[in-house]
Amino acid sequence: MTVRLLLADDEHLIRGALAALLGLEDDLVVVAEAASGPEALAMARAHEPDVAVLDLQMPGADGVKVATSLRAELPGCRVLVVTSHGRPGHLKRALAAGVRGFVPKTVSAQRLAEIIRTVHAGNRYVDPELAADAISAGDSPLTSREAEVLELAADGAPVAEIAERAALSPGTVRNYLSSAVSKLDAENRHAAVRLARERGWV
């Protein structure tokens, strides 16, 4: 049986090398490639792959957001996320989105091929080290709204701009930011963003 793959990574060199290496496997065939979240979704709709191998960090929509859409639109497509940022919160979000595999980019192409087969067979594979980190880190204390507002604040945008982008009043944005800073025991919102990112909570 041939497993049809979609590869999505905004780093062209990595994606091309991966496509070439996986293409050497007798039972794997790369049917589509993408460089962004929206492109990955469009390619998945067009080619209906068996397994989508998605980079966690992509322009337009990250791998977890793409996985959420794929689960709704193409439930037969298994999703495997590869990342160079294996933070605990990312893994928990990925599993909640129905991702079947979560591995670091340091994995060899041969090992990745084995994991693709595992995921395609309906099983789950999570890198043991990433899993151990996620367990020891605990759950995020932030509500989804606090995390969203904190993420919008990451590039230093003023409160008024964050309010507009989040469709909230400036006062509500200040409350969410204040709550997030307090929960993370941070000095200010910039420190809160840094802490939340380190733990993969935003």
144-198 — its CATH code? 1.10.10.10
Q: Which amino acid is at 163?
A: A
| d(C-alpha 174, C-alpha 168), whole Å | 10
Are the CB atoms for 65 and 77 separated by under 8 Å? no
| d(C-alpha 30, C-alpha 68), whole Å | 22
Q: Is the pLDDT of residue 184 over 90?
A: no
Q: Which amino acid is at 39?
A: E
CA distances from 154 to 43, 131, 139, 149 (A): 30, 26, 21, 9
Q: Say what percent of the chain tops pLDDT 90.
A: 50
User: pTM of the predicted model, to two decimals?
Assistant: 0.69
Q: Is the pLDDT of residue 59 over 70?
A: yes
| d(C-alpha 168, C-alpha 181), whole Å | 18
Structural domain spans, the chain: 3-136, 144-198
End-to-end Cα spacing for the chain: 39
pLDDT (0 to 100) of residue 96: 84
3-136 — its CATH code? 3.40.50.2300
